[in-house]
Amino acid sequence: MTDSATPIADIPFKGRAPIDALLATVVERLRQDGVRVIGFLQEDDSALLGGEVGADACSTMRLRDLAGGGVMGISQDLGRFSEGCRLDSVALTEAAGRLEAALEAGADLLVVNRFGKAEADGSGLRPVIARAIADNIPVLVPVREDYAPAWANFHGGLAASLPAEAEAVLDWCQRAVRPGPQAALSSLSR
């Protein structure tokens, strides 16, 4: 489904695409328009060192809280000889709790940093995404190709799929948070 009136949208991406910079641009512009955006933007050490977010798969991942401000780590340090990086499930549960509280306070749009492994497995921020959809709060979430099948299973054909272009994403967000006559007409034509 690609209708801009759909209250949930994904941005498919491959590998280490600069999806975090795109989300930051969109969120900033929406906030300038007075949109109450909640959720998280992902940051990591590679960005602090002048690289692109996600350039180093083993960097320390952090979430910037769009509602309350502040930054929280979501990766656990397994030591310098570790061959894998691990998402900290306790920190992710805390992040979900923060989002639940932000939903309670009210929002126009939920931006989730990723639909990733935890969400594909049924945990992580998945319950918060489901709640926002149930509460009719539009949701925007990037989905790496590895998790596209789990994402499709989760949304059941209800999500619009957007190109990784700021103007297209911004257009969808503006229509989703302020549905006007065009959104109403397009939903009638389905």
pLDDT tens digits, one per residue of 109-149:
999 999 998 999 999 999 999 999 999 999 999 999 999 99
Kindly state whether residue 54 falls inside one of the protein's structural domains: no
Confirm whether 132 is domain-assigned: yes
Radius of gyration of the chain (CA): 16
**Domain housing 35:** 8-39+95-188
Q: 100-112 pLDDT, tens per residue?
A: 999 999 999 999 9
Any domain includes 105: yes
Query: Is 131 a domain residue?
Result: yes
- Under the banding of pLDDT at 50, 70 and 90, the label for residue 184 is very low
Compute the distance between CA of residue 179 and CA of residue 5 in angstroms, rounded to an integer: 7
Is residue 141 in some structural domain?
yes
Beta bridge partners of 73: 62
Q: Does a structural domain hold residue 140?
A: yes
CATH number for the domain spanning 182: value is 3.40.50
Quick check: 5 pLDDT over 80? no
Cβ count near 133 (within 10 Å): 18
Neighbours of 66 (CB within 10 A): 24
pLDDT of residue 58: 52
Count of domains forming the chain: 1
Whether the CB-CB separation of 22 and 164 falls below 8 Å is answered with yes
pLDDT score, position 73: 81
Structural domain includes residue 56: no
Instruction: Give Cα separations from 171 to 43, 83, 174, 177, 189 (angstroms).
Output: 24, 41, 5, 10, 19
Note whether residue 67 is domain-resident: no
**Whole-number Å distance between alpha carbons of 16 and 82:** 21
With contact defined as beta carbons under 8 Å apart, do 42 and 25 qualify? no
Q: How far is residue 28's CA from residue 189's CA, in Å, rounded to a whole number? A: 32
The pLDDT-based confidence of 40 (bands split at 50, 70, 90) is: very high
Residue 24 corresponds to which tokens in the numbers above?
């930051």
